[in-house]
Amino acid sequence: MTAADPGAAMAPPVFTCRRLTLLVTGSVNAALVPYWLHWLRQMYPDLTVSVGVSPMAQRFVQLDALRALASGAVWADSWESTDLPEGAHIGIESQAECFGVFPATINTTMRLAAGFTDTPTMMALQLTKKPIAIASTFPGTNEIVKRRCAELERRPNLRFTGTLPAFSVSAGDWSGTTGFFMPLLLTVLEELRTASNEVPSPTETK
């Protein structure tokens, strides 16, 4: 799914995170991630964005293109990768303040729901308590997918973005919806950060 031209709706939301890590997965929307990295640099000049890229996503976007536009590290999301942040999943988790799966395929989302830790960034996402936003680009859904997504959202630090009307590449028309829209992702992450800051510490509840 590819979203409609957002036009005036692209005004940047309030976003206080200073270190964002994205996991780019194997949707055709991955080809548009360089555009959004450029947009982030223009709108949030103090934001450091690092990017892990799944093997399937590399069919649609080149690591070199992302490295030219990202303000942080870029790596192939594989345990065999030679360009992982130091400490692999521990380094990935510690260097981020929040995470986005952008775009999120149905395969990656179901693997996350099932607890898979077969790549460094997936392990970081499974173990972190920091905010995670999922920008879904599902071609469809069913009861099993809905149930898995609901299970994922039981995590207090994880939420799916809203969706926008989208052009369905497979159907060839505007019958689709997508969460692949950076302002939506940032809005969800900011809401999660705010909510976590409002939770009283154990000493405050005594």
Residue 10, pLDDT score: 63
Please report the pLDDT score of residue 4 as a whole number.
44
Single-letter code of the amino acid located at 64: D
Amino acid at 148: R
- In this prediction, residue 7 carries a pLDDT of 41
pLDDT score for 172:
65
CA dihedral 6, 52, 76, 84 (to 10 degrees): 150
Q: What is the pLDDT of residue 166?
A: 66
Give the DSSP letter string of 135-192: EE--S---HHHHHHHHHHTTSTTEEE---EEEEETTTTEEEEEE---HHHHHHHHHHH
CATH architecture of 17-198: 3-Layer(aba) Sandwich (3.40)
pLDDT at 139: 86
Domain limits, the chain: 17-198
pLDDT value at residue 66:
98
Q: Output the tens digit of pLDDT for each of the chain's 206 residues.
A: 545 444 435 689 999 999 999 999 999 999 999 999 999 999 999 999 999 999 999 999 999 999 999 999 999 999 999 989 888 889 999 999 999 999 999 999 999 999 999 999 999 999 999 999 999 999 888 999 999 999 999 999 999 999 887 666 666 655 567 899 999 999 999 999 999 886 554 454 44
CB of 77 within 8 A of CB of 52? yes
**pLDDT value at residue 174:** 56
Q: What is the pLDDT of residue 175?
A: 54
pLDDT given for residue 202 in this prediction: 47
